[in-house]
Amino acid sequence: MEQAEETRDRGDHAAALVLAEAVARGGMTPAVQLFIAREHSALGHHADARAGAEACVEAVQRDRSIRHRRRLLEDCRALVAAAIAAQATAPSVAAPTAVTLASPPEVVATSAAPVVVPGPPLDVVVPAPVVEAPVVEAPVVEAPAEDETSRFAIEVGGGLGVGLILGNPQVVTPSSGFYAEGIYSLNASGAALRACRAGFQCPAVTGAAASPTGVLAASLRWAPFRDALGRRFALGVTLRWQPDAAAGDAFNALVLGARIYAVLTSGGFARRGVTLAAVAGMGYGDIQSVPAAQGSELPVAHVASGPLDLHAGLRVEVGLGRFVHGAVELVGHVLLPAQSAAIDAVGLVGVHY
């Protein structure tokens, strides 16, 4: 197809038409139909151009998953109208009419009075007059031009989270965490661990530590703007649930967040195909880690981190049709006031409209 386009750009429309028709024999698409119809139009083949453009309109209306569907539909309709107008303004010449006239009679001289013998008939072709065809307005075919990008989406999924303990959970300060199952008493620095609840151990953590955990996730997404730039952005509400968090408070296990999506690939969130997007946002809740046990068989208490969550990451979404998609996200969290962090890798399935 590239060779056909280069040939067209050089002005050789006849050769470009031959090349494009060869491509069509291997697999016709609406874009190829439009190219062939345009070349017919450039060569003055207005009937062929109209037929090809009308076939393009029908194909685009039938398949709502075509990329850039709206623009392709507009181009095909415009070519239909142009072909009809060209046909209407072109002179229509009727076929020549044959008129039979008698040939001049033959005069036979004899000694008597002349005898007139009629000659054979002669066919004389008389051109028909040129008749101007009336101008016919191009028909307007209305069809719902469905966008190839989604506007609303709802998703659920799960994956693996890794909590990173950066502070010291033994002492509560603006830059440290504390144990959710710990019992604290006030001191000069703010608060100190007095004891651990029965059935738990609260080991001292003086350096960074990592703690894996399962994660459940859900989200709602809305793309409020539909222009070419605006559809690259969407707003979302997210939910992160940690099943193994400390009991007692719903927000021990839950982070409710709001985020913005920025699409990095062309268009918006594609109904079919791959979409790459960046995400960033903030939320309220806790992501709890469990440090390693230190010489006791008792379960280790949970290190609390929140309540303010700041997060950012990348997302790859694969549109599987008009309503369904799958996605994976890799998101990093920073939790304040405790200087702890987490990294989540989750898979999601969703429906979109």
Q: What is the CATH number of the domain that holds 266?
A: 2.40.160.20
Residue 166: closest CA among 299, 343, 313, 294: 343
Residue 144: inside a domain: no
Residue located via tokens 């109208």: 81
Cβ-Cβ contacts under 8 Å for 173 (sequence gap 6 or more) = 167, 189, 190
**pLDDT of res. 345:** 97
**pLDDT of res. 310:** 95
φ/ψ of residue 86, rounded to 5: -65, -40
Tokens of 333: 């969290």
Q: Which helix (H) or strand (E) holds 154?
A: strand 152-165
Residue 67: inside a domain: yes
Residues 30 and 165 grouped into a single domain: no
* Total domain count, the chain: 3
Residues 311 and 234 grouped into a single domain: yes
**pLDDT of res. 119:** 54
Residues 212 and 345 grouped into a single domain: yes
Residues in the chain: 353
Name the DSSP letter for residue 149: B
Residue 140: inside a domain: no
Residues 187 and 328 grouped into a single domain: yes
pLDDT in tens, the chain (353 residues): 889 999 999 999 999 999 999 989 988 888 899 999 999 999 999 999 999 999 999 988 888 778 778 888 899 999 999 999 888 887 654 445 554 545 555 544 444 455 545 555 545 454 555 545 554 454 444 433 445 888 999 999 999 999 888 767 776 665 667 888 988 887 666 677 788 899 999 888 777 788 899 999 999 999 998 787 888 999 999 999 999 999 888 888 999 999 999 999 987 899 999 999 999 999 999 998 888 887 788 999 998 887 899 999 999 999 998 899 999 999 999 988 776 889 999 999 999 98
**83 contacts 49 by C-beta, under 8 angstroms:** yes
Q: Which domain covers residue 67, as residue numbers?
A: 2-89
List helix spans (H) across the chain.
Answer: 2-9, 13-26, 30-42, 46-62, 69-89, 250-253
> What beta strand segments (E) does 197-306 contain?
209-222, 233-241, 254-263, 272-285, 303-304
Give me the DSSP letters along 203-224: ----S-EEEEEEEEEEEEEE--
Domain boundary among 74, 89, 104: 89
CA distances from 116 to 102, 119, 180 (A): 14, 9, 134
Residues 205 and 323 grouped into a single domain: yes
Tokens of 201: 């151990």
Residues 68 and 196 grouped into a single domain: no
Residue 100: inside a domain: yes
- Alpha carbons 187 and 174: distance in angstroms, whole number: 15
List helix spans (H) across 29-149.
Answer: 30-42, 46-62, 69-89
Residue 85: inside a domain: yes
Residue 329: inside a domain: yes
Residue 9: inside a domain: yes
CA distances from 133 to 86, 118, 129, 192, 206 (A): 11, 43, 13, 98, 93
CA-angle at 289, arms to 286 and 292, nearest 5°: 165
Residues 75 and 212 grouped into a single domain: no
In this structure, what CATH number is given to the domain that contains residue 68? 1.25.40
Residues 163 and 312 grouped into a single domain: yes
Residue located via tokens 């990348």: 314
Residue 99: inside a domain: yes
**pLDDT of res. 111:** 47
3-state secondary structure (DSSP) of residue 321 = coil
Residues 85 and 100 grouped into a single domain: no
Q: Could you tell me the pTM of the whole model? A: 0.58
Residues 61 and 161 grouped into a single domain: no
Residues 190 and 325 grouped into a single domain: yes
Chain-centroid distance of CA 140 in Å reads 28
**pLDDT of res. 258:** 97
Residues 206 and 333 grouped into a single domain: yes
Residue 178: closest CA among 305, 289, 340: 305
